[in-house]
Amino acid sequence: MFSFFKSKPILKDLIPDNYVDIHSHLIYGIDDGAQTIEDTRTIIKAMQQMGFDQAIATPHTTPLVWENTREGILNQYKKVQEELPTESKAIELRVASEYMMDETLLPHIENKELLTLKKDYVLVEMSYMNPPIQLMDILFQLKSNGYDIVLAHPERYNFYHQNTAMYKKLKKAGCLFQMNLLSATGYYGKHVLEAANFLLSNGLIDFVGSDIHHEKHIKGFEAKVEVKGIEFFTQAISNNQEFRK
């Protein structure tokens, strides 16, 4: 589709006007993303300028770090809607959560308390240090309880870079893969870019997400796309239409 590019495209130029983002941290004061209402306003404005049509904010739910609850996230989301009514409607802002996978997640899975991206799609992540000991059990419980698992930024888990067979094992366990848009530019480093190339070339990436936390991430969209499989990357961007409201 983009084979006509003689030079590497700029990331923001690959964002279509109808893009639906499924991963960001623009709800202020609730995790390591936006800290103030002005931060939220800035992020939303930047998203609009880049062509984002809809956005699902996904504040972290991480035990001992960001002890967010379903009620707390929904309350802060409502607050943003009230304080920024025009901006919230402009990008059809919605909210879910990005859940850290560990043993504390299990009771919330069983009680159907998870905030989902849409229908039963739930966004989950792992620690960057190492995968959870109960990983396969957690994935099994999610699937058994009817959830569709969207694993955030698999290309960023360094412990899988030398164990790429694990990516296919995760796929067999029911994981859909969400790659970060900035990973395509080398923003997170050479090894993450190489992992992104591997996942794209093997057809393992299903969706993408901005994972925007702050202005530095926004500026990252001005960089050139370095991944080799542009056609696989743009297809993943198009696949986000699955989450259109």
Q: For 183-217, how does the pLDDT look when each residue is reduced to its tens digit (9 = 90+)?
A: 999 999 999 999 999 999 999 999 999 999 999 99
Quote the number of domains for the chain: 1
| In a domain? residue 80 | yes
Domain limits at 105? 11-243
Whole-Å CA distances, 20 to 95, 133, 149: 13, 33, 18
Q: Does residue 2 carry a pLDDT above 80?
A: no
Per-residue pLDDT, 7: 82
Evaluate whether 192 touches 165 at the Cβ level (below 8 Å): no
Beta strands at 98-100 and 121-125: parallel, antiparallel or unpaired: parallel
Residue 6 binned pLDDT confidence (cut-offs 50, 70, 90): low
| In a domain? residue 26 | yes
- Mean pLDDT of the 11-26 span: 97
pTM of the model: 0.95
| In a domain? residue 5 | no
Q: For residue 97, how far is the Cα from the chain centroid?
A: 10
Evaluate whether 22 touches 207 at the Cβ level (below 8 Å): yes
Tokens standing for residue 127: 């620690």
| In a domain? residue 4 | no
All residues at 6 or more sequence positions from 225 whose CB lies less than 8 Å from its CB, including other chains: 8, 9, 10, 11, 14, 184, 185, 233
| In a domain? residue 49 | yes
> What are 27-63's pLDDT values in tens digits?
999 999 999 999 999 999 999 999 999 999 999 999 9
| In a domain? residue 6 | no
CATH of the domain at 38: 3.20.20.140
Secondary structure element (H or E) that encloses residue 57, with its range = strand 52-57
Q: For residue 2, how far is the Cα from the chain centroid?
A: 24
* Distance between CA atoms of residues 134 and 131, nearest Å: 8
Q: Which residue has the tokens 């792992």?
A: 126
| In a domain? residue 2 | no
| In a domain? residue 223 | yes
Tokens standing for residue 139: 């994935």
> What are 69-106's pLDDT values in tens digits?
999 999 999 999 999 999 999 999 999 999 999 999 99
Q: Does residue 162 carry a pLDDT above 80?
A: yes
Q: Does residue 5 carry a pLDDT above 90?
A: no
